[in-house]
């Protein structure tokens, strides 16, 4: 068991050498300013064109912030949500033409037709605190009992396709069985139809919605604004959290390869970190930081940060900045538990970074320079 730990550390140092993942950068002086409190385990946020914000609470409420104030009444008209373990109301996304069609997308946990629970995605028209004309556009299969690893992040790319991250639901072997959605990244049209150029359309043994698979539990997804790439991060078991650049049709290896180890100690499976036909992460963490939420920064409020990738940490209450230069990944850690478990990080229309903290009395924070 001790040999496995040293083997994992050696591989981590080796990859850090080639990618620069171990390079730290100087601490930037910033401070979190509380915008709103009283949120129950907030999970995701979106910024509306009129200045309103919507924030999902894992318990199943969708909250409004209007003129900087948290409204007492939650949004009406949501679908039936099962707050099951790590699941509940999760990711939010606005349609690329939201200003015209008012379409809001949300991911949530609900009972599946085949029993158990899984991640579902619905959309409806949002206006003045009400969601109307709600329709479910996707339900992950199969349904699984238990409350772990629902994924749940949503993202639209530049072409208007919708991406949905799905966890392995604690049934890790399903992540290498792509006839189901478990442990995959799904790509759909905005109305739930399967794009004709998805990698596994009409291919036997594969669900046509799948864009990539072999993921453990991706709770971060971001569009690289500089080249249009889709990036995700996912939780490892005990160590081995990964940042991945997504390739169409690729297998990201879980649980066959991992830089983590079992929670009770020892290697995952055969202890492999690489295998032919499986993708390597761009960056990984040992020990685990429990990443959640992710965004590229493309503003001008923080000198030197443009082009950096920001990742929240649940385990250590960190905000992690990854910057990229000369084939190196440099890492800067901020906040260090100052505000609690960072569940989401997004860039606001004002150019500031906003953070959500996953707690009974969670909050919304704006990151400002000191």
Residue whose C-alpha is closest to residue 332's, from 317, 346, 319, 345: 319
- What phi and psi values does residue 13 have, to the nearest 5 degrees? -65, -35
- What phi and psi values does residue 11 have, to the nearest 5 degrees? -65, -40
Give the DSSP letter string of 81-144. Answer: ----TT-SEEEEEE-TTHHHH-EEEEEEEEE-TTSSEEEEEEEEEEETTEEEEEEEEEE-SS-B
The DSSP element (H or E) to which 39 belongs, if any, is strand 30-39
Which tokens is 206 given? 């594969």
Any idea of the CA torsion for 69, 73, 74, 78, to the nearest 10 degrees?
-150
Cα 345 from Cα 69, distance rounded (Å): 19
**Does 285 score more than 60 pLDDT?**
yes
Q: What is the pLDDT of residues 20-55, one digit of tens each?
A: 344 565 567 899 999 999 999 999 999 999 999 999
CATH architecture classification, 2-369: 6 Propeller (2.120)
Interacting residues of 197 by C-beta distance below 8 A, sequence separation 6+: none
Q: What is the pLDDT of residues 66-98, one digit of tens each?
A: 999 999 999 999 999 999 899 999 999 999 999
- Our answer to whether residue 215 is catalytic in this structure is no
Active-site residue, from 11, 95, 149, 233: 149
Alpha carbon separation from 266 to 80, 271, 285 (Å, rounded)? 40, 8, 17
Global pTM?
A: 0.93
Confirm if 21 and 350 have CB atoms less than 8 A apart.
no
Q: What is the pLDDT of residues 109-162, one digit of tens each?
A: 999 888 899 999 999 999 999 999 999 999 999 999 999 999 999 999 999 999
| Helix residue ranges per DSSP H, the chain | 2-19, 98-101
Ranges of each domain in the chain = 2-369
Sorting pLDDT into bands at 50, 70 and 90, what band is 326? confident
């Amino acid at each position: 068991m001790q040999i496995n730990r040293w083997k994992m550390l050696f591989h981590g140092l080796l990859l850090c050498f080639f990618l620069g993942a171990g390079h730290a950068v100087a601490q930037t002086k910033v401070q979190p300013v509380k915008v709103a409190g009283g949120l129950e385990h907030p999970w995701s946020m979106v910024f509306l064109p009129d200045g309103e914000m919507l924030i999902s609470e894992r318990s199943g409420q969708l909250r409004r912030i209007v003129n900087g104030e948290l409204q007492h009444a939650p949004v009406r008209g949501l679908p039936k949500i099962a707050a099951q373990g790590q699941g509940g109301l999760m990711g939010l996304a606005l349609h690329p033409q939201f200003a015209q069609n008012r379409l809001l997308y949300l991911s949530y946990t609900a009972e599946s037709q085949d029993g158990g629970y899984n991640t579902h995605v619905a959309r409806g028209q949002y206006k003045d605190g009400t969601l109307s004309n709600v329709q479910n556009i996707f339900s992950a299969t199969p349904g699984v009992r238990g409350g772990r690893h629902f994924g749940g992040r949503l993202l639209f790319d530049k072409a208007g396709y919708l991406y949905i991250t799905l966890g392995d639901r604690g049934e890790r072997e399903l992540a290498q069985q792509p006839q189901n959605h478990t442990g995959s990244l799904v790509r759909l049209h905005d109305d739930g139809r399967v794009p004709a150029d998805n990698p596994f359309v009409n291919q036997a043994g594969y669900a046509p919605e799948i864009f990539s698979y072999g993921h453990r539990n991706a709770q971060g997804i971001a569009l690289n604004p500089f080249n249009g790439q889709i990036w995700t991060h996912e939780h490892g078991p005990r160590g081995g959290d990964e940042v991945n650049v997504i390739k169409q049709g690729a297998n990201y290896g879980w649980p066959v390869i991992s830089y983590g180890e079992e929670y009770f100690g020892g290697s995952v499976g055969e202890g492999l970190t690489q295998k032919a036909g499986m993708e390597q992460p761009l960056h990984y963490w040992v020990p685990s930081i429990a990443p959640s939420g992710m965004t590229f920064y493309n503003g001008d409020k923080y000198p030197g940060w443009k082009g950096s990738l920001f990742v929240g940490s649940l385990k250590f209450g960190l905000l992690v900045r990854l910057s990229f230069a000369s084939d190196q990944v440099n890492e800067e850690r901020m906040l260090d538990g100052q505000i609690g478990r960072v569940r989401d990080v997004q860039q606001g229309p004002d150019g500031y970074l906003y953070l959500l903290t996953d707690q009974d009395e969670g909050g919304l924070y704006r990151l400002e320079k000191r």
